[in-house]
Amino acid sequence: MGVSNDEFRTALSRLAAGVVLVTAFEAPLDPEGPKGEDVGMTATAFMSVSLDPPLVLVSLRNGSRMDDLLDEQPLWAVSVLSESQRHIAGRFAMKGRISDRLLFEDIPYVRGAATGALLVGGALATLECRTEQRVPAGDHTLVIGRVLTASLPSADGGPLTYFRGRYRQLG
Query: Is the pLDDT higher at 26 or at 99?
Result: 26
Is 88 contained in some domain? yes
Q: Mean pLDDT across the chain, nearest whole number? A: 92
Contacts of 113 (CB under 8 A, 6+ apart): 128, 149
Is 10 contained in some domain? no
Radius of gyration (C-alpha) of the chain in whole angstroms: 16
pLDDT at 33: 61
Rounded to an integer, the average pLDDT of 110-114 is 96
Q: Does residue 15 register a pLDDT over 90?
A: no
Is 67 contained in some domain? yes
pLDDT at 17: 92
Domain that holds residue 135: 19-164
CATH number at residue 142: 2.30.110.10
pLDDT at 143: 98
Q: Structurally, how many domains does the chain consist of?
A: 1
Beta-bridge mates of residue 159: 82
Residue 131's pLDDT band (cuts 50, 70, 90): very high
Sheet with 75-80: strands ordered across: 37-43, 20-26, 75-80, 125-137, 140-151, 55-61, 46-50
Instruction: Look up the pTM and report it.
Output: 0.92
